[in-house]
Amino acid sequence: QVQLAESGGGSVQAGGSLRLSCAASGETSTKKSMAWFRQAPGKEREAVAALDFGGESFYTDSVKGRFIVSRDKAKNTLDLKLDNLKPEDTAMYYCAAGFMIILGDGRWRFNPNDWGQGTQVTVSS
């Protein structure tokens, strides 16, 4: 099992930026693919960005060009830089460890095995 702890959420105005970080620990944490999900009130949890073990990044269409996912293997952290934030980005953001599934035609899915507790991002207009 991988233990995950997110930090860095907060409240910003539209157009602002935040940086989320997820600290991972556990025997196999460095061998997992990892991802960021988010869940807004009344909506399903969705994967927004993922990084496979080989270092390839994946994004959902709504955040492409605005969010960047990165991994510091020495520190065993997964970061998410959020730029040009929009009110619709408001959600609880969760870090996850698990497995990538490449569906082709640019489509992908992430199967999580472990979750962090989440960090809130609120964007006001």
The Cα–Cα gap between 14 and 111 comes to 31
Please tell me the predicted confidence (pLDDT) of residue 55.
Answer: 87
Number of other residues whose CB lies within 10 A of the CB of residue 119: 20
Is the distance from CB of 91 to CB of 72 less than 8 angstroms? no
Give per-residue pLDDT as tens, 39-69. 999 999 999 999 998 889 999 999 999 999 9
Model pLDDT for residues 9-42, shown as the tens digit of each residue: 999 999 999 999 999 988 665 678 999 999 999 9
Cβ–Cβ under 8 Å, residues 86 and 104: no
pLDDT digits (tens, 9 = 90+) for 63-105: 999 999 999 888 889 999 999 999 999 999 999 999 999 998 8
Q: What are the tokens at 46?
A: 């969705």
Side chain identity at residue 76, one-letter code = N
pLDDT above 60: residue 116 = yes
